[in-house]
A and B are shown apart, each in its own frame.
Chain A
Amino acid sequence: MTKPKLIFIVAGLILLIQASIAQKTSFLDHLRIGFGAGANGAHIIDLEPYNVYEDLTGETYKNSYSGLLQNIGNQYFVQAEWFNDYIIIAMKPGTYTYRFSKINEVVFTNETVEQVTPYLLRYLSVPIEVRYNLDFLRFRPYAGINATYSHLLGSHDASNQTFIRPKISAGAVAGTYIDLRYIILDVNVGYHAGVHNIASKPDRFETGSGSTFAQNDILLNDLQVSLSILFSLQKQKHYSNVECFY
């Protein structure tokens, strides 16, 4: 069985279990669903460099990745949350797209050339977050932890074959819910650290039809900012706009 098939079967199984649990009214009362989107900055951590260029005079060439602020990607996801007074468990499955570039320098006597190879990695991700929140009525700030399993989606870009398909990350999240009575906004910031190298060791030199380069061993960390709109299946609380301003 191929890995994408396995992932879809597992995801289907989760949804089935979710649906069966949702039969219970008490569980529904503690469920919020919605959708969200946001931007991310990929933060590449170099574990071990593999430069395709060797200088015959002993010089070392720059072999690095672009910085976080240059690596702006995006994410789109659906969000489902179970909550009680203090704890919220949120799932945010969706597509998470990361952008970054590899920079290789080649030095000549009269010129120094920078070869830049851009990547766009689109993952199908299933993040799970456990949040602890404080109830300040309209605003409910929270902090928590995150664990994410991601699967790299196929691409026509040959250079993407220098990465393995799965990616697991873990990190910290913080944010706040803003209760607008009929909808709840979730403003979320998170930093997620990759827990393993995502470069494919056997394929790091499989540069395909693109720049000639070697992929370093890297961790893909990211800083995410997201905004979600959630709909609560629970009866609304009694602090409407009217009540608040009275």
Chain B
Amino acid sequence: MWSVFTDIMARFTTYIVLFSILIAGCEINQKDVLPEDGFVKIYNHPEEILSFYPESVMELQGGGYLHISAVKDETSDIEYPYTYLVRTSATGEVEWTRTYDWLAPSSRLIQQNNQIGFVAMNQQFHAFAIMIDPGTGDISEQHSLDMTMPLYTFTDTQGNLVVLGYDFVTRSSWISKYNSSFTLQRTTMLSINTDLEYLIQRHLNKTGQDFPFYIGEYSNASGAGYYVNCFYNYTLRTVFMDISSLNATGDIYSFQIEEGISSTIQKTGSLFGLTSYYEGNNYILPEVEIDVTTSQNIKDLPGDPLYELTFKACVITGELSNDATDNTLFISQTNTNSIVIYQYEMESDSLVRTLYRNFDERVEVADFIQTGDNGIAILAGIHILGKYQRPLLVKIPGDQFLPEEE
């Protein structure tokens, strides 16, 4: 019997060796991929009457994410959405959720003195900065911002808070700057010259057009300043403002409020990256020279059409730096229910790659951040079953943005 066995073994040794080589070369070992490197999470609430409008996401020190949404309750007597905060683990699992009576939370989440906060309004439209303990979600402080109808919140590199609001008395866009203690430093009113209160209300209560209000910071030979996308002088404009005086120095204007710039990022010096929409199409200007001291028509800036994006698409623009390169990311959604990421080199207008994440149902991007592992986390809204709007968090690992090996 043993001789039979040895005979067989000798005859099939070749096969066994070849088989072993084959096994050794295959991709079975996947131990280097961690669950937190990349994931997709859809956060469902069983109440059909609720609609979630995601606003902002933040990665926490020590791992995990906080994301904030405005939630509309069909049955509520208050027409404005309330605030819903979700704390997740590093792999996107829910750890706790909190709701707040503060209305229409405006992008973005802010971080001051080991506290996380957001800006929202009360029922009288007065804006407040609400600070919470990121461990429990308990409100630790609240500060009146002495402005109305907050539309966007931005924290600059010095830790100052810049808030865009709307003053329905003077019919003006209202830009205020606060220090890290929420003390008002300076405020500016940009007169719209027409009453847009109804449109602003519909923007805030999620029943009308979602206008691309945002604030960013730039610095070049002309000085340092902010760019603020807001209503000004009858139109939706990108207004460049001096960082100290908040005086408008220049702007990019469009036709009334039907056209506009949907996102802006400073690349270097006077070179900016923009996306815009006009005449029914979306356009991208990955690198364009802009004089922040003059007024320019959006149509004088040549753009490449992005036909795949949804009508008047929301585009989130930001920087992604890794060990190899600095990049500019333009993130939006397509007509085919995909989140699309256009990755451009920071130093040029070269498109490095286009990434798509496909979904069954309609998606709408809201925010993205670079994570500690040089990946990105995208917060979006998704219509589960095509009906119920819920938050969606997509984590994409950093290796997907590295230069391809030759």
| A binding-site residues for B, Cβ under 8 Å | 3, 6-7, 10, 13-14, 17, 21, 50, 52-59, 61, 82, 84, 86-87, 89, 106-111, 113, 128, 130, 147, 149, 158, 164-166, 168, 196-197, 200-202, 205, 207-212, 214
- In the complex, whether B28 has a CB less than 8 A from a CB of chain A is yes
- Tell me if B186 counts as interface (CB < 8 A to partner A): no
Roughly how many angstroms separate A130 CA and B15 CA in the complex, as a whole number?
Answer: 13
B26 contacts partner chain A, Cβ-Cβ < 8 Å: yes
Min Cβ gap B51→A in Å is: 13
B360 within 8 A of A: yes
> With an 8 A cutoff between CB atoms, is B342 at the interface?
no
Contacting pair A205 B15 (CB below 8 A): no
Given A14-B15, A212-B359, the answer on whether A166 and B42 have CB atoms closer than 8 Å is no
Residue of B nearest to A199 (CB): B30
Q: Contact between B21 and A110 (Cβ–Cβ < 8 Å)?
A: no
Q: Quick one: which of A13, A56, A165 contacts B94, CB cutoff 8 A?
A: A56
Distance in angstroms between the alpha carbons of A17 and B33 in the assembled complex: 39
| Contact of A54 with B360 at beta-carbon distance under 8 Å, contacts A110-B48, A168-B28 already known | no
A211 nearest CB neighbor, chain B only: B360
Which residues of chain B have C-beta atoms less than 8 A from A109's C-beta? 46-48
Shortest beta-carbon distance, B73 to chain A, in Å? 13
Query: Are B358 and A202 closer than 8 Å at their CB atoms?
Result: no
B8 contacts A89, C-beta separation under 8 Å: yes
- Give the Cβ gap from A93 to chain B, nearest Cβ, in Å: 12
Task: List A contacts of B38 (CB < 8 A).
Answer: 202, 205
Q: List, in ascending order, chain A residues with CB within 8 A of B278's CB.
A: none
Contact A52:B22 (CB < 8 A) given known A21-B11, A197-B30: no
Complex Cα gap A196–B14 (Å): 24
Contacting A at CB under 8 A, from B1-60, are 1, 4-5, 8, 11-12, 14-15, 18-19, 21-23, 25-28, 30, 33, 35, 37-48
Known contacts A113-B385, A202-B33; A214 and B27 CB within 8 A of each other: no
A128 to B44, CA, bound (A): 47
User: Which of chain B's residues have a CB closer than 8 A to the CB of A207?
Assistant: 40, 358-359
B interface residue numbers (CB < 8 A to A): 1, 4-5, 8, 11-12, 14-15, 18-19, 21-23, 25-28, 30, 33, 35, 37-48, 84, 86, 88, 92-94, 97, 358-361, 382, 384-385, 388, 397
| B44 & A106 in contact (Cβ 8 Å cutoff) | yes
Q: A56-B94, A164-B30 are in contact. Are A106 and B19 (CB under 8 A)?
A: no
Q: Which residues of B contact A87 (CB under 8 A)?
A: 4-5, 8
8 A-B interface contacts by CB (under 8 A): A14-B18, A21-B11, A52-B41, A54-B88, A55-B43, A108-B47, A209-B358, A212-B361
**In whole angstroms, how far apart are the Cα atoms of A158 and B92 in the complex?**
24
The answer to whether residues A53 and B44 also contact, given A10-B22, A214-B39 and a CB cut-off of 8 A, is: yes
Q: Which 6 A-B pairs have the closest CB atoms?
A: A166-B26, A201-B33, A205-B40, A201-B30, A56-B45, A54-B94
Contacts of B97 in A (CB 8 A): 56-57
Having A17-B15, A106-B384, A197-B30, one finds 13 other A-B pairs with CB under 8 Å, namely: A7-B22, A52-B41, A54-B92, A55-B44, A86-B4, A87-B8, A108-B388, A110-B48, A111-B48, A149-B19, A165-B27, A202-B37, A212-B40
A214 touching B22 by the CB < 8 A rule?
A: no
Q: Least Cβ distance of B75 to chain A in Å? A: 12
> Within the assembled complex, what's the spacing in Å between the Cα atoms of A113 and B5?
57
Task: Determine if A56 and B44 form an interchain contact, defined as CB atoms under 8 angstroms apart.
Answer: yes
In the assembly, what is the distance between CA of A52 and CA of B18, in Å? 40
Greatest chain A CB density within 10 A among B12, B25, B40 is at B40
Task: Point out the residues of chain B lying under 8 angstroms from A202, CB to CB.
Answer: 30, 33, 37-38, 397
Cβ B27 vs Cβ A166 within 8 A = yes
Q: How far is the CB of B357 from chain A (nearest CB, A)?
A: 8
Pick the residue among A6, A7, A200 that contacts B30 (CB under 8 A): A200
Q: Is the CB of A54 within 8 A of B27?
A: no
- A57 to B92, alpha carbons, bound, how many Å? 15
The answer to whether A89 touches B385, judged by C-beta atoms less than 8 angstroms apart, is: no
Question: Which residue from B22, B35, B93 sits with its C-beta under 8 Å from A6?
Answer: B22
